[in-house]
Each structure stands twice: as structure tokens, then as C-alpha cells.
Amino acid sequence: MEFSALFLAVTVVMVVAWWGTRTLALALFAATLLASIATYLHHASDVLKLSF
């Protein structure tokens, strides 16, 4: 679900970059980048339960 939201956010950033102002596009890009990093860190810190 969060990956779908990130994909939608990146799509919104591209649309704003095309038709909106530069400042708004950069602000939305920064917010999306922070959300992407937070999602990565959330999943990277999960413990893998492996049994061999």
C-alpha cells in the first residue's frame, strides 16, 4: 500500500513539475524523497525470519 502511495506521489510531483511552479515541485520532491527514505529504512530494519 505504501509503495502505491509513493508511486502516486512521484506521479503528482512529475505533473506539478510539468505544469506548476518550480518551488512547489521542489518542495513536493523533497517530501517524496523523505517518505521514500523513511519507507526504505522501515523495511531495511525488519528482521528476516529464515530457517534452513
In angstroms, the CA 24 to CA 15 distance is: 11
Other beta carbons within 10 Å of 13: 21
Contact 9, 32 (CB under 8 A): yes
The pLDDT score that the predictor gives to residue 45 is: 83
Predicted TM-score (pTM) of this structure = 0.82
Q: What is the DSSP letter of 45?
A: T
- Would you state the pLDDT for residue 33? 98
**Nearest-5° angle of CA 19, CA 11, CA 43?**
145
Query: What does the pLDDT profile of the chain (52 residues) look like in tens digits?
Result: 889 999 999 999 999 999 999 999 999 999 999 999 999 999 888 787 888 8
Q: 49: Cβ–Cβ under 8 A, 6 or more apart, which residues?
A: none
